[in-house]
Structure 1
């Protein structure tokens, strides 16, 4: 039986949330939280999903009338937890690439209160060519146009401002998003009144999200659909653990009833301690293991941890290079051990290829800070993290086994340098230097860091000569 609002009887809800992104994470984290608040309190919030890029799941989600099932698996307080639920908060799906006017019309909804987003680390960026009256390329450009339509429609009413909670994994994501919006406001000459409305009527929170979401359980989907009784093409799987850290005004507790719903949400005036350890240890481990694991022929996170050689590499990265690069704090080793236990969750099959999306921006946010901090503290480069960097560059070489998904300019850069190297026009060391010199990505020339390009080139040559597995078993541990 198909899944839709005819075959599954659910109540409609007023649109209170506009959500930029329809991927697995938002559906297993934000939409699940909204669902829980709807069930456990009188929140009664519906979500309008906006597909932020041309390709996405919008059409499939729309075909199911916004409905999908969430499976939460894991161990909680020593007990095995297996939950499944029908999430019904998504009321509408809009693709602005097909109907820009419908997207702007959404800004006129009176009941709208919140904006959530997850457009990856590559999403909160400024695109110089974006204009007000034509569909913008960037997410901040789209949101600026959306806010301006709302401001205009409600004549600048202060009570029609929105609470904006970006979930992209970059530092100070709310501050950064507001800065880019105000840049567009200036570029488009939208006026001082609108500037004041954005600053005073709208509230931007910095956020940190934490839940491992493998996504669509393709290996077990036939069994799952049979058990559900529906042909749900958007089943999403996640771990039981969750944490949502909000940096900003405590007043959000008055409008988001997460305490009534029993959600693990922290509102603080300083999210830095939470963010630093989570991004550098959990997300950093995910990002550094992807190219190493894939090049070693491994498919999932758990298989990485079950492989003695790769597991030792990951643990060494965390224990000897990442944790020493962090400011001293209690509990870092315990947090690392808990993360590795979460990676070993036997109920979660998290494919490395699914994590590999936008690997270079992720490496910049999640791993590069550890490399730079380690170098500053120790006066040398962290060889295991450099080996992962080299593996990432190798992973993006032309191949029939792996097709990288990343920003177009990054894909073009890697394609160009590998083509030149294959033709003998540049050496392998010069290839590495060109990648490290790409300031558009790194915000600096990484060749200025002593020993960095030499180390990455050394390990890249070793990977080409020996393969990843042989390299892990040899000189790294001498």
Structure 2
């Protein structure tokens, strides 16, 4: 028996109010779940139409189940493992504009349609010079949306009340600002007229966002167990962690229409998402990147094992609380609460997060996620954050390519690998040559965007730690910090 509205007794139909570009795991586990909660707790009375943004997608599978799917939320809650599941019934249908372009445009004629959501990957919000307004559909997401918006503008003769709130979830800087810029660029190129542009600027809103929830996706390894537990087949099961955070630069009108915070969801309506993005990148992503080489060279393979280890766990927690948090500008209590949640998320017993899966492109990741904390710490205190410097030394040691007798499968930009191989070629076994290795790596401006040897005290600190790691091994070296 497959999940469908015939087999799900609680099935309800709602007016279609949300047009969503993307039908994948993240949106269904994050945004759609939130609208589902609004229906249950705030009488939102709305459903989502999921648009397949590329030629190959999953709307057919979604439609086979009448938009229904089971959501599992699994992880630590108040320090204890908890797994819950629920049938989500907020998606009314899916549309493939490559097969049904007229049906796609017809959604613009619906007076109830009010919200545009998207998650088309980081590459989705991009200008394609080959897009034309007569294509059915145009290639890029911004072009598809421009055609849809213009059709709505024309259908309702520029009625201001038929504007929409556009809320992209793509993980790029200023996602909504970039999307609007491209739409205006297309409007000018396609000669859509001043009236349309004015309507876009006055009747529609564009909200920059930051999204945060770990979504492993379809639980292939345990689907037989899930099917037995549910008593029905669900080809669209999705799993995620309990933690969720959506930060939205929202106008007051949108805050009133979508009262997510009032029903207990972690949605923050703010004037600027920038400090929250810095918080996530520095604490969550930065901790991941700083942790990987230290824990892996220690002999550990997963994130959970690392944070629960008495030595490595202490190292990364102190790096976060003593060296990263002091470089950020949000209230300390708020930063420490977020950091505590990050540690709990890293300890999720339901997610096996391999360190080597995070190790991909470690050097560019270190530059964007950890280096800003080192430089800001230096600026604010005059000193070098020793744990983060130790992590940089460990990263250099990691790129020597050996864990004991085991070869490490290094995976990075070719230029980085060449640079590190050349640096390690200078090592002849003595301390002076290790300093040469460090100076060579820190001078790699293509990665660091600067010569890090010019940061007073950094070369000396990294060299000291690298000598310690190389001579004594990670397990003894980490005790010094």
After TM superposition, give the deviation of residue 76 of structure 1 in Å. 4.4
2:217 to 196, 215, 218: 215
Residue of structure 1 in register with 2:152 after alignment: 150
Name the CA shift for 1:73/1:52 in 2 (closer, same or farther; >3 Å). same
Write the deviation string for residues 185-228 of structure 1: whole angstroms up to 9, x where unpaired.
23333222121111111111222333333333334322222111
Task: Provide the TM-score with structure 1 as the length reference.
Answer: 0.74
After TM superposition, give the deviation of residue 343 of structure 1 in Å. 1.7
**Does structure 1 conserve the Cα–Cα contact (< 8 Å) formed by 2:291 and 2:316?**
yes
Write the deviation string for residues 358-402 of structure 1: whole angstroms up to 9, x where unpaired.
99998776556446645765687954565687799999xxxxx98
Residue of structure 1 in register with 2:260 after alignment: 258
| Consecutive unaligned residues in structure 1, runs of 5 or more | 396-400, 405-410, 439-444
Name the CA shift for 1:369/1:88 in 2 (closer, same or farther; >3 Å). farther
Residue of structure 1 in register with 2:120 after alignment: 119
SS of aligned partner of 2:71: strand
Write the deviation string for residues 43-67 of structure 1: whole angstroms up to 9, x where unpaired.
2211111233445444433333321
**Does structure 2 conserve the Cα–Cα contact (< 8 Å) formed by 1:371 and 1:385?**
no
Residue of structure 2 in register with 1:188 after alignment: 190
Residue of structure 2 in register with 1:231 after alignment: 233
SS of aligned partner of 1:141: helix
- Superposition map of 1:344-383 within 5 A: 344-350=347-353, 366-367=369-370, 369-370=372-373, 373=376, 383=389
SS of aligned partner of 1:107: helix
Name the CA shift for 1:386/1:353 in 2 (closer, same or farther; >3 Å). closer
Instruction: Give the stretch that moved more between structures: 306-315 or 123-132.
Output: 306-315
- Superposition map of 1:8-407 within 5 A: 8-9=8-9, 10-76=11-77, 81-134=82-135, 135-258=137-260, 261-286=263-288, 300-306=302-308, 311=313, 314-315=316-317, 317-319=319-321, 321-327=323-329, 329-331=331-333, 332-350=335-353, 366-367=369-370, 369-370=372-373, 373=376, 383=389, 386=392
After TM superposition, give the deviation of residue 92 of structure 1 in Å. 1.8
CA distance in 2, matches of 1:35, 1:188: 37
Name the CA shift for 1:301/1:421 in 2 (closer, same or farther; >3 Å). closer
CA distance in 1, matches of 2:48, 2:478: 53
CA distance in 1, matches of 2:322, 2:362: 23
CA distance in 2, matches of 1:313, 1:3: 47
**Does structure 1 conserve the Cα–Cα contact (< 8 Å) formed by 2:81 and 2:349?**
no
- Superposition map of 1:406-445 within 5 A: 414=413, 437=446
Instruction: Give the stretch that moved more between structures: 370-379 or 195-204.
Output: 370-379
SS of aligned partner of 2:305: helix
**Does structure 2 conserve the Cα–Cα contact (< 8 Å) formed by 1:122 and 1:358?**
no
| Consecutive unaligned residues in structure 2, runs of 5 or more | 402-407, 427-436
**Does structure 1 conserve the Cα–Cα contact (< 8 Å) formed by 2:23 and 2:50?**
yes
After TM superposition, give the deviation of residue 88 of structure 1 in Å. 1.0
CA RMSD of aligned residues (A): 4.6
SS of aligned partner of 2:332: coil
After TM superposition, give the deviation of residue 31 of structure 1 in Å. 0.7
SS of aligned partner of 1:83: strand
After TM superposition, give the deviation of residue 255 of structure 1 in Å. 1.9
SS of aligned partner of 1:116: strand
User: Does 1:4 find its partner at 2:4?
Assistant: yes
Name the CA shift for 1:371/1:108 in 2 (closer, same or farther; >3 Å). farther
Write the deviation string for residues 425-447 of structure 1: whole angstroms up to 9, x where unpaired.
xx999x99999648xxxxxx825
After TM superposition, give the deviation of residue 173 of structure 1 in Å. 2.9
**Does structure 2 conserve the Cα–Cα contact (< 8 Å) formed by 1:212 and 1:239?**
yes
Name the CA shift for 1:104/1:451 in 2 (closer, same or farther; >3 Å). farther
Residue of structure 2 in register with 1:408 after alignment: none
Name the CA shift for 1:273/1:420 in 2 (closer, same or farther; >3 Å). closer
After TM superposition, give the deviation of residue 350 of structure 1 in Å. 4.9
Name the CA shift for 1:71/1:96 in 2 (closer, same or farther; >3 Å). same
**Does structure 1 conserve the Cα–Cα contact (< 8 Å) formed by 2:16 and 2:113?**
yes
Name the CA shift for 1:104/1:77 in 2 (closer, same or farther; >3 Å). same
**Does structure 1 conserve the Cα–Cα contact (< 8 Å) formed by 2:293 and 2:391?**
no
**Does structure 2 conserve the Cα–Cα contact (< 8 Å) formed by 1:72 and 1:84?**
yes
CA distance in 1, matches of 2:192, 2:128: 17
**Does structure 2 conserve the Cα–Cα contact (< 8 Å) formed by 1:383 and 1:476?**
no
SS of aligned partner of 2:218: coil
Residue of structure 1 in register with 2:429 after alignment: none
SS of aligned partner of 2:93: strand
Task: Provide the TM-score with structure 2 as the length reference.
Answer: 0.74
